[in-house]
Structure 1
């Protein structure tokens, strides 16, 4: 049985968790953990990105022809360079490997023998058809953790369906609640379902690693997009089954929660104010010069404010519309009322709080120069993660990884490349 990476005291070529890696060198809490990533697009790769952020060595296997489609998807720089790839593939090594060929599957099995975690987001059954299912791989590496990210999970009547994040968001319930009343359901402008499934997959992976420290045995982590979305749905299920209440689309508000909305300012900015809690509402009323609200039975309690939210919003908007946003926000912050603007990227890049906490990090892109992206979350005081490298070129680390981990000779690498395997 392979020794768990967390207890290893030495690293030798070919041993789990060994091999040159800039992310591992950062000393993050997952340093020494070797992760194979065979996924594509966002859900699986985001899981591996999170693990790499905290020091894991992430070896990403890509098709030798085009690589991960994320190299081409998303908005591109005028020069043609992807602006998505450097983020989703940060802290990773790229190894080309044609998994649809027997020789490529042999490479995957060999790498899995020397890995701690394998992340994949193929349709269920694909890895098994390749002889790379968990039963196959765990026979030679009982400590292996296989993290599987799919639309519907590994079991159940829908498991075999193709599943993208948009469908998981709909099935998980969040799409029905997103948008304006009386209008078709909407979506937010990022791949929420994919990222949620990747986040829960990373959490499950770390829990499986902790369990392996005690038992020496790996397991399967099964993260379904629709279930990751469902996990955010608060009390919507008992509300329906036990009280017959169905939440509906409510635009910029939450039913029964007021004031918590977007309000106009004199200079045209939209100011978000969240003053629904009793103590906060008192401070809001004082800051806006409307202490009479505190004695008004329509607004005196949380429940009453929720029932008369539209009336209260109208009165607040009449006041905020007479003040410039900066003046208004200063007064609200001074009073201890949660308030702010809906930030765009340009707002984040110039905000002093973002700068002070280094929430945005810049690395040097070989063609584009300083390249900004979100920093590692969450922050650990003793073993913080870091962004060590932008997404690599296709196959940039193929020779390095296969020779160091599998002992593949240069001559054999040349043969594999000539055959289109790598």
Structure 2
């Protein structure tokens, strides 16, 4: 496990209450926790966050959980019970940040609207992640990351031309929303520091986080009426940039810089294309992209992935193997960059997990604690909030905490 260094943590002293489950809200909490924030995760008694049981399990818990919830403290608290809501308010009153990714109106139904929480804690930064945002005609519709990817425009492009749209393989809509949320939290904390200590609400919609990454999609439609369509592995309007078959797999080649293109063509024995006047800039290459792709594909097809990588790397042409999980786990660059960490779990085994991103030189992120079991920190957190052991025991007897 990557232990804390002697360097100060970037978010040391920031206290976060995380309410919500699965991916978007908790990924934001994970990111803040890795840079020193104290993250108190509130989970429902019984099963807790459903992510504990998603995908592949070991010792009864998802190994995904070990990544998503490291550096967090788990409080098992029934937010449907009035006593549970009172405890949540006590925790929020002492927090800097509240993260929630419930359907809009849920907090209000518990008597914890932003206005009510700001009356309790004027400096509170409230991050609200939802499918469609807190306003607008769709606000009450259920929304998951996949729906955000569809509405945000991404799914229309993730396909081979004329074939069914496919997902990118991970919950990218949720993760993009989480990262936008983390950026919003940082800006709101900075504003609070330099402008008198007032908190604010950050409203992140899943589809808007995806849409924000869609590059020239809307300007092209506005200016030209052009609807960008699926292009498979190619990068439309930029050439050459595509995936090419090898004798034992696939490589991605990005030869779309003017000088890079010339080096690429020389490396594959196509000096005629390197010297062609009309291929000296991107517009000319786009006009002949099918011919260029065919030339590259014909050259790669008879060679192994490694042979292609060696030749093009020597020519200073960006080229990449399509990595599997095994490739990542065995790659020396990942190791050298501390992007593969061995993390001990509270279930008694160790697992390799992703490292911390981004890398800060003075205040690096760390993995300080492993992911908690459900309710591991309930008693300690409630005691810190001022509850007596008798009060804690009574709440446990009532099933409000676990």
Give 3-state SS (helix, strand or coil) of 1:198's partner: helix
| In 2: Cα distance, 1:294 partner to 1:317 partner | 16
Q: How many residues align?
A: 398
| In 1: Cα distance, 2:274 partner to 2:348 partner | 56
Q: CA RMSD in A?
A: 1.6
Give the aligned partner of residue 201 of structure 1. Answer: 181
| In 1: Cα distance, 2:167 partner to 2:305 partner | 28
Q: How far 1:23 sits from its partner (Å)?
A: 7.7
Moved more, 61-70 or 366-375: 366-375
Q: Report if the CA contact (8 A) 2:262-2:275 is conserved.
A: no
Aligned 1:301-316 pairs, distance under 5 A: 301-316=281-296
Give the aligned partner of residue 390 of structure 2. Answer: 411
| In 1: Cα distance, 2:217 partner to 2:361 partner | 36
TM-score normalized with structure 1 length = 0.91
| In 2: Cα distance, 1:307 partner to 1:368 partner | 59
Q: How far 1:314 sits from its partner (Å)?
A: 1.0
Once the two structures are superposed, residues 161-198 of structure 1 have per-residue CA deviations (whole angstroms, 9 ceiling, x without a partner) of: 11111111111100111111111221111001001001
- Segments of structure 1 that go 5 or more residues without pairing to the other structure are 1-21
Give the aligned partner of residue 104 of structure 2. Answer: 124
Give 3-state SS (helix, strand or coil) of 1:377's partner: coil
Q: How far 1:26 sits from its partner (Å)?
A: 7.5
TM-score normalized with structure 2 length = 0.96
Q: How far 1:288 sits from its partner (Å)?
A: 1.6
Q: Report if the CA contact (8 A) 2:346-2:371 is conserved.
A: no
Aligned 1:18-417 pairs, distance under 5 A: 27-77=8-58, 79-214=59-194, 215-266=196-247, 268-296=248-276, 299-367=279-347, 369-404=349-384, 406-417=385-396
Once the two structures are superposed, residues 219-274 of structure 1 have per-residue CA deviations (whole angstroms, 9 ceiling, x without a partner) of: 001111010000011111111122111100110102222211111223x1211111
| In 2: Cα distance, 1:367 partner to 1:38 partner | 24
Q: How far 1:301 sits from its partner (Å)?
A: 2.6
Q: Report if the CA contact (8 A) 1:116-1:143 is conserved.
A: yes
Q: Report if the CA contact (8 A) 1:45-1:88 is conserved.
A: yes
Once the two structures are superposed, residues 369-419 of structure 1 have per-residue CA deviations (whole angstroms, 9 ceiling, x without a partner) of: 221111111100000111122210000000011101x11111111100010
Q: Report if the CA contact (8 A) 1:360-1:374 is conserved.
A: yes
Q: Report if the CA contact (8 A) 2:76-2:374 is conserved.
A: yes
| In 2: Cα distance, 1:238 partner to 1:48 partner | 34
Once the two structures are superposed, residues 287-321 of structure 1 have per-residue CA deviations (whole angstroms, 9 ceiling, x without a partner) of: 22222112335634311211221211111111112
Over 3 Å counting, the alpha-carbon distance change for 1:111 and 1:160 in structure 2 is same
Q: How far 1:42 sits from its partner (Å)?
A: 0.4
| In 2: Cα distance, 1:392 partner to 1:386 partner | 16
Give 3-state SS (helix, strand or coil) of 2:79's partner: coil
| In 2: Cα distance, 1:34 partner to 1:366 partner | 23
Q: How far 1:359 sits from its partner (Å)?
A: 1.1
| In 2: Cα distance, 1:175 partner to 1:83 partner | 28
Q: Report if the CA contact (8 A) 2:56-2:62 is conserved.
A: yes
Give the aligned partner of residue 14 of structure 1. Answer: none
Q: Report if the CA contact (8 A) 2:151-2:207 is conserved.
A: yes
Q: How far 1:27 sits from its partner (Å)?
A: 3.3
Q: How far 1:76 sits from its partner (Å)?
A: 2.1
Over 3 Å counting, the alpha-carbon distance change for 1:320 and 1:24 in structure 2 is closer
Once the two structures are superposed, residues 103-132 of structure 1 have per-residue CA deviations (whole angstroms, 9 ceiling, x without a partner) of: 000001111111000000111111011111
Give 3-state SS (helix, strand or coil) of 1:221's partner: strand
- Segments of structure 2 that go 5 or more residues without pairing to the other structure are none
